[in-house]
Amino acid sequence: MKLTDMEYTEMQEGRKFWTLKASEAKYFQSEQKSLLSSVRLTFYLQEGEEIRLESNEGSLHAGTKNIELWNAVRVMLPRGYRLATERAFYEHGKQSIHSDVKVELDGPDVLLRGNRWEYRIPEHRAILDGGVRASLTLPPSNGKSAR
């Protein structure tokens, strides 16, 4: 079965938890899996903030509700942080997003690179691991340049 402009919303305790959108979804019943094109996955946090993931391709596993994204994955995190990687996974049972390939995280005054990344949604906690490199830009205090 093939769908265009697919949208699925997962509800938890009477509120939207996440919404998955794709320009195209091909469902494979024998695998209980949908292959997705032009994917956008949005998580709705209790504080009104959002986590948005976008990729060129992905898959939804119907039984587990696990989601895999690949091919130019972009993640927009709260407070102006952005992450780029080639592959990311959402594990529904753990409510965590992770990537086991190189990632680049940038945000206000900081750029981080590492080999693995995890965001634990209930804890609002991000972990960057493996060969981490950081670049921090500090603005001059009181308008004076640092010596």
pLDDT tens-digit map of 5-47: 999 999 998 999 999 999 999 999 999 999 999 999 999 998 8
Where are the chain's structural domains?
A: 2-141
Q: Which of 8, 62, 11 is nearest to 34 (CA)?
A: 62
Residue 137's pLDDT band (cuts 50, 70, 90): confident
Supply the pLDDT for residue 31.
92
Give the lowest-confidence range in 1-5, 72-76, 116-120: 1-5
Supply the pLDDT for residue 52.
97
pLDDT tens-digit map of 67-110: 999 999 999 998 899 999 999 999 999 999 999 999 999 998 89
The beta-carbon contacts of 64-68 under 8 Å, at least 24 apart in sequence, are 64/92, 64/93, 65/10, 65/92, 66/90, 66/91, 66/92, 66/93, 67/20, 67/41, 67/92
Task: Please state the rounded mean pLDDT for residues 130-134.
Answer: 93
Supply the pLDDT for residue 139.
76
Supply the pLDDT for residue 1.
83
**What topology is assigned to 2-141 in CATH?**
lipopolysaccharide transport protein A fold (2.60.450)
Q: Which of 70, 113, 72 is nearest to 89 (CA)?
A: 70
Q: Is it the case that residue 146 has pLDDT exceeding 70?
A: no
